[in-house]
Amino acid sequence: MNLQEAVALLYPETSDAPIIVAKEKGVLAQRMIELAKEFNVPVIKNSDTTDILSFYNIGDYIPEETFEIIAKIFSYIRRAL
């Protein structure tokens, strides 16, 4: 059975890369997504990237292998807002 996963990122202006600020699986991941939507935080579904990020810890920078896709996601979000 595949559990739903969710990873939240923050990209402070002074940071070299986005930081993982939350991650969950299953019911808690679903709750994370619900809360994000409730507070108008953009939610993007990208299972491959979530799978990679789930191996890292809260407080870690995103790994270099995800820079390109995360940049595209942040760019999409900025245009949509």
What pLDDT is stored for residue 1 in this prediction? 57
What is the domain count for the chain?
1
Average pLDDT, the chain: 94
Q: What is the CATH number of the domain that holds 24?
A: 3.40.1690.10
Q: How far apart are CA 81 and CA 65, in angstroms?
A: 26
Q: Which domain holds residue 56?
A: 5-80
Of 8-12, 37-41, 77-81, the poorest mean pLDDT is in 77-81
- Looking at residue 51, its pLDDT comes to 95
> What are the structure tokens assigned to 25, written together?
């699986």
Q: Give 40-63 pLDDT, tens digit per residue.
A: 999 999 999 999 999 999 999 999
